[in-house]
Chains A and B, each alone.
Chain A
């Protein structure tokens, strides 16, 4: 499962290792809280669709 997280000015660091550490921290937090191991991908700000109606935050890409 992939979780996309928009980078914001508040947590953007100039250092690669700090951004990578943030990714791992988010992955660990999600696993700790939800018990699901995910891959966190950092994406451009405002690149994730905002829904004005019913929220659609999960994309099921399985072929079944």
Chain B
């Protein structure tokens, strides 16, 4: 299944990482996983929470710019070569990867979860299924 990821614009100045974390904490929202992409001038914080709709509202009420993006949690073997094999299959399927990051909290039973942003998430789901690559369900990906 697809996950709803939140992306937050970060101007390059002190406090911009602390402020959204404080806003989410005040609302009792737990960050499950995150990735920070940066340039010399700005950054984008991408993260996953249990209730992305509420989290988006909390951050927008605090004056921040937030976008919701569909990402795909892919299960890979949690050992050397596991990710490389999955990427080989993804490449063979002709899927374009915008970015990826680890979802450590969802790793269990010798399997790791990697969050992928594909150019076309729906096409990616179909291609991943055809290639025999497991896409994790909500129950599997979100920590209990």
In Å, the complex CA distance between A19 and B39 comes to 10
Per DSSP, chain B at the interface is: strand
Tell me, yes or no, whether B44 is within 8 Å of chain A by CB. Answer: yes
Residues of chain A within 8 A of B37, CB atoms compared:
16
* Chain B CB within 10 A, most for which of A13, A15, A43: A15
- Chain A residue with Cβ nearest B37: A16
In Å, the complex CA distance between A8 and B132 comes to 40
> Which of A26-34, A44-52, A55-63 binds B?
A44-52
In Å, the complex CA distance between A21 and B7 comes to 18
Contacting pair A19 B117 (CB below 8 A):
no
With A13-B67, A15-B98 already in contact, the answer to whether A42 and B11 are too (CB < 8 A) is yes
Tell me, yes or no, whether B78 is within 8 Å of chain A by CB. Answer: no
Size of interface on A: residues with Cβ below 8 Å to B: 18
With A14-B117, A19-B42, A20-B39 already in contact, the answer to whether A45 and B98 are too (CB < 8 A) is no
Tell me, yes or no, whether A35 is within 8 Å of chain B by CB. Answer: no
Contacting pair B11 A44 (CB below 8 A):
yes
- B51-74 contact mask (Cβ, 8 Å, vs A): 1 or 0: 000000000100111110100000
Given contacts A9-B67, A44-B11, 13 further A-B contacts (CB under 8 A): A7-B9, A9-B60, A12-B67, A13-B67, A14-B69, A16-B37, A16-B39, A19-B42, A19-B44, A41-B41, A42-B11, A42-B41, A44-B9
A contact set with B: CB distance below 8 Å: 7-9, 12-16, 19-20, 23, 41-47
Per CB-CB distance, the 8 closest pairs between chain A and chain B, nearest first, are A14-B7, A14-B69, A44-B11, A12-B65, A7-B9, A43-B11, A7-B65, A14-B67
B contact set with A: CB distance below 8 Å: 5, 7, 9, 11, 16, 37, 39, 41-42, 44, 46, 60, 63-67, 69, 98, 117
